[in-house]
Amino acid sequence: MITTTLDSAALRSRLVDRLVVDGFLHERRWRHAFRAVPREALVDAFTVRDPRTGTLTHYDVDVDPTPALAALYSNVPLLTQRVAGAKATPNSATPARLALMLERLDAHPGHRVLEIGTGTGYLTALLCHELGHRAVTGVDRDPQLVEQARARLAELGYRPRLVAGNAAHGAPSTALYDRVVATDGLPWVPPAWLPQVRPGGVILIDVGFLIVRLSVSDDRTAIGRFTDYAASMHPRVDAGHTGLSVRDILAAANRRGRTDRGPRPSYLDERPLQCLHAIVFPHVHKAIVYGDDDSVSYALTDSVSGAWARAWPDGDGYATVVHGGPRNLWSDLTGLARWWNDRGRPEPTRFGLTVAADGAHVLWIDRPDRVVTRLPVE
């Protein structure tokens, strides 16, 4: 156990050095937090998926600590076994992403922070280390997961307020929060959060694979810009916000329908455009399939309208498209692509979001009065 503890400390220090070199971690206080919090106290058994082959490798700190600790302190997403008998679920918040979000959150001692999606409690522990556990509240929909995180955090000396409930409802308290942070991707900002944040407070979330930092005003309107990419843009491997897998998307789009020939712009797979598509069409899930013969095909499905589409580019700027449902999802995608291209292919940081007190969302470019579109929200 002494050897494991020493190995853990060395690996934590190495992780911090890597996060600093890669530009994710700058502030001394968060470097101290990452060095201080032993992640293995919160995540002892987990699985890692190879991004190239899809191969799954299981690790257990108690059974074989050396490779498990090495994986824990590398910058890879984990599939965590949440409680005995439960399904393994992805924890997409890598240490790099957590470091980036902590610095963008800009929380300081004296601030009250609401964390949406407690998960294993790793981010909770980092916040507790810097702010004190009385300043931190976490909410997660899984009561068993909440109890597990509560017990493991207590072993580290942290006793934040943890609530089991619907994350969209937040965690109402007698005092308002100064900061709200959600590391799991969301299609929009739940309106119930707004009255729980004090005027001047900040909401930091991942929308459409981008981090957006919103400031809450006196009238409970939240306004802010997209600041960073939130995650790597594999071909929608996580398949959006409803948990659809690539296999689910392909199955939903593998039907008989109307066949057309439509444009396939050369810039269709550009990262900023993929993020913009995820924001403007939050219910649409897209998978890109690359064949061994260098072929590529697209599958899209709309979880609300039931529309779907498959497209096979033919190499000359067009694609054969088979689609069905009330909308042509391929036309939606290529139409947005043309709009983006015609405006000089703007980077995500030029876009921003306004969330009204009633939950209405408006996407804008450069400044709030330059409206791009109103976003569909539930």
Please give the sequence-ordered ranges of beta strands (E in DSSP) within the chain, or none if there are none: 45-49, 56-60, 78-80, 89-91, 113-116, 136-140, 161-164, 177-186, 197-207, 210-216, 222-229, 258-263, 284-290, 296-302, 308-313, 318-324, 351-355, 361-365, 371-375
* Model pLDDT, residue 168: 93
DSSP secondary structure string for all residues of 334-369: HHHHHHHHHTT---GGGEEEEE-TTS-EEEEESSTT
Q: Residue 8, SS3?
A: helix
pLDDT value at residue 92: 56
Longest dimension (CA), the chain: 66
Query: What's the pLDDT at 6?
Result: 61
Q: Is the whole model's pTM more than 0.85, yes or no?
A: yes
What local confidence, expressed as pLDDT, does residue 88 receive? 46
pLDDT, tens digit only, all 378 positions of the chain:
444 666 899 999 999 999 999 999 999 999 999 999 999 999 999 999 887 677 889 999 999 999 999 999 998 888 884 444 444 454 658 999 999 999 999 999 999 999 999 999 999 999 999 999 999 999 999 999 999 999 999 999 999 999 999 999 999 988 999 999 998 888 899 999 999 999 999 999 999 889 999 999 999 999 999 999 986 443 333 333 445 677 888 888 888 999 999 999 999 999 999 999 999 999 999 988 887 777 889 999 999 999 999 999 987 899 999 999 999 999 999 999 999 999 999 999 999 999 999 999 999 999 999 999 999 886
- In order of their start, the domains of the chain are 2-186 (3.40.50.150), 246-342 (3.30.160)
Are 229 and 237 contacting, i.e. CB atoms less than 8 angstroms apart?
no
- Partners of 286 in the β-ladder: 300
Residues in the chain: 378
